[in-house]
Amino acid sequence: MEFVVAHELPGRIRLRTPKGTFSKKNAPAVEALLESQRGVKKVKASYLTGSILICFEVSCREGVLSAAALMTRDYYDDEELEGLRGEAPQESLKAGLAAMAARTLFRLLLPLPLRKVINICRASSFVKRGARSLLVSRRVNVSVLDASAILSAVVRGDFVSAGIIMTLVSLGDLLESWTQRKSKEDLAQSLALRVDTVWVRRGGCDVEMAFSELHVGDLVVVRAGTVIPVDGRVAEGEAVVNQSSMTGEPLGIVRKEGASVYAGTVVEEGMIVVETTALGSSTRISRIISVVEESESRKASIQGRAERLADSIVPFNFILAGVIYLTTRSAVRASSALMVDYSCAIKLATPLAILASMREGIKRGVLIKGGKYIEALADADTAVFDKTGTLTVAEPRVAKVIALNGYGGEDVLKLSACLEEHFPHSIAKAVVRRAEEDDLHHAEEHAEVEYAVAHGIVSSLRGERVIIGSSHFVFEDEGVKVSEADKKVIDEECAHYSLLYLAVGTELAGIICIDDPLRGEAREVVSGLRAEGVPHLVMLTGDCRRAAENTAAQLGIGEVRSEMLPVDKSEYVRRLTERRRAVIMVGDGVNDSPALSAASVGVSMRSGADIAQEVANVVLLENDLRALVDARRISVRTMRKIHMNYRFIVGTNTLLLALGLGGFISPALSALLHNLSTVGASIYSLAPVLGKDIRGNRRQSIDR
C-alpha cells in the first residue's frame, strides 16, 4: 500500500494514503490486518482522508511499516476479512440490531441443555476480554466488571441472567461503537469534498478519470456548476467562482489565467483549466477535516477527568460486592454490585456531547478544533478584538488624500500606490484601487522596496529616501519631523480615519485617510457576548488614540488600546492570562498570530491569513462575527449538558445499585435498566444545544 508518514510519536504513527485507497466498506479489514501484526495495539482507519492511525510497541515500528507497505488491495478488498475484527463497529445499526435479534431468537428455540452450552461458550469470550485487561493491561475496568458479573451468574447456574447480561453488554458495545463512529463521520462528512471522477486535459483531449488517480501538475477541466476538486492555478480560461465555502463571501469572483483557486469552491459561470498544485490531504479544505481526526488529542479537561473518574470507580464495585457477600452471604445481592457501573455511561456521554457540539458548530458556521476549546470558550470572561479586518470590514477604502509641504494630492497618491502595489495588505489594496479609480498611472521610478512587517515600506526615489507607513514607523522609527500645522491636520483627521503617512526625505509629504467601516454585525456581537456572560471586552489596534476611541465608543467597548504593535498585542494578552483571565482573542492577520497563540482561545476568520487560521483554536467559517456568539452559547450549554448528564448517571445508577442490594430488583433487571440509562444519557448527549440553523437568515440580513 502506498503511504507517507504524516505524523509520528514513539509508539504512535499516522500514515496518509492517497484518497480512495480503501473505502468505508473495507476500512475495518485494513484495521484488522494491521492489528493482527505483532506488537500492534490499536488501529484506526479513516476512509474519508486516507488516514491510518497505528498504536504499537516501539520496538515493532519497522515491522508495522513493512506490513503496511506489503498490503495490497487484494488483501483488504476481501469482504471476508471484515470478520477478522470481532469487535469492529457495525457499518449499519439496523443490520447489527437485526443480526443480534436473529441470534437471540435462534438461541431461544434451542433445547435448554444446548442453550447452556452456548451461553458458556459466549461467556468465555467476555471472560477472556476481562482477563486480558486485568493481566495484560493491568487495568481494572468495565471489561473486568462485565466478565465478573457474567462469570458470577454462570457459576451460580443462573444462565438466564448470564444470557441477558451478555446480550445487554453486546448491545451496549454495538450502540457505543456506532454512535461514536457515526458522530465523527457526520462531522467529517459535513466538511468533506465529495468527488469521484474528474475531467483531465491530456494531449489536447479531455478524458474522464478517477479522482484517486489525479497527480500534482495535472490539468483539471472544470465547467459551470462543477466543484473545483483541487487547489491550483488557472492555466487556461476564465470563470466566475463562488468561494463561499472558503471565504464566506456570497458573490462570485472572476478567476483568470494565473489566479489561484481552491478545492471545494464552485464554478458558477464559464470554464477553466486548473493546474493542480495540491490535492487530497494537502488542500485547504482537507486540513479542516484533519482537525476532526486530531480532536481526540485536544480533549477537554472535563473529558479527561470523566475518563479518570470512570476508571477509578470500577474497583469500588468489587469492594462493595465483597462487603455485601460477607455481610449477607447472598451471591445474588453481591452480584447486583457487579451489574451496575458508573464508568460506562460517563466515558461515553462526555465525548459524544463534545462531538455533537463540534458538529453543531460546523452547522452554525464555526469550527471548534477540540473539546478543550469548548471548555475554554465556556469559561471565558474576557474577549479581546483586533480592530482592522475583524471588527471592521476586510475592504477599507481611501476617503481622502491630504497633500502637505508643497506636494500635490495626485503626486502623493501616485507615489503611495507605486510603493503599496508590491504588498497584498488590505490597506495597500485600498490605496492602489483609489489610484486606479482616479485614473492615475504611476511609473516604476523608485528603487527596490523594503517592507517592515506591521510598520511600513521604505524605498528611494531620485536619490531621496521614501517612507510610507504608520505614525510610529514614520515619526519615531524613521525620525521624520512634523510641524505644528501638520500636527493640527493629523489631530483633526485622526478622530475620523485611520491614517497612512508618506514622507520624502525627512519631510512629511502627505496623509492618506483610510475609512475602515465597522462590520454590520459588530455591535450585535459585542452586546451578544455580554449577554452570554463575557463582561470584559477590549479592542486592540495600531490606530491613533482618537480614532480607536471613536470606534470603541460606536461599539460600546469600554477598554481600548491604541497604537499597538503585534508584540504589544501578544504581551497584553499574555498579561491577562497571567492574571487568571480566560481570554478569547479574535484576529485575522499574520500580525495577530502571536496574540492568538497567547490567548486561552484564539479565534480567526476563514478569510484571515493562513497562519492565523492554523494558530487559531476556533475558525469562523463564514466570516460572520455572530458565529462567535453561537460558539460561546454552544460551549456554555454543552458544559451544562455534561454536568446534567453526570447528575443523571450518578443518581440513576446509585438508585439501581440500592434497589439491587436491597433485593427489590433482580441482577438481570438491574443490568437492563443500567444499560437503558446509558442509552438515554447518550441520546441526550447527541441532542443539539441550540435551535435550528440560522445561517440562511444571517445571509439574508447581510445581503439587505
Tell me which of 386, 588, 624, 630 is the catalytic residue.
386
- Phi, psi at 212, each rounded to 5°: -65, -20
**Set of cell numbers at residue 138:** 493491568
DSSP 8-state symbol, 474: I
Per the CB < 8 A criterion, the answer to whether 598 and 573 are in contact is: yes
**386 is annotated as an active-site residue:** yes
Beta strand residue intervals within 438-505, DSSP E:
450-452, 456-461, 464-469, 498-504
- Tell me how far apart the alpha carbons of residues 90 and 181 are, in angstroms, rounded to a whole number: 9
Q: What is the 3-state secondary structure (H, E, C) of 31-59?
A: HHHHHCCCCEEEEEEECCCCEEEEEECHH
Quote the Cα angle for 401-405-410, to 5°: 35
**Set of cell numbers at residue 352:** 459524544
- Tell me the Ramachandran region of residue 572: left when phi exceeds 0, alpha when psi lies from -120 to 50, beta otherwise: alpha
Pairing of strands 219-223, 197-202: antiparallel
- Tell me how far apart the alpha carbons of residues 280 and 544 are, in angstroms, rounded to a whole number: 45
Q: Which long-range contacts (CB under 8 A, 24 or more apart) does 529-535 make?
A: 529/383, 529/628, 529/629, 529/632, 532/629, 532/632, 532/633, 532/636, 533/381, 533/636, 534/380, 534/381, 534/382, 534/383, 534/584, 534/632, 535/381
Query: Hey, is 436 helix, strand or coil?
Result: helix
- Tell me how far apart the alpha carbons of residues 174 and 89 are, in angstroms, rounded to a whole number: 7
Q: Which residues contact 401 (CB under 8 A, 6 or more apart)?
A: 409, 412, 413, 434, 510, 511, 512, 513
Cβ atoms within 10 Å of 316's Cβ, excluding its own = 12
Mind giving me the DSSP string for 368-427? Answer: E--HHHHHHHHH--EEEEEIIIIIB-S--EEEEEEE-TT--HHHHHHHHHHHHTTS--HH
Cβ atoms within 10 Å of 69's Cβ, excluding its own = 12
- Residues marked active site are found at 386
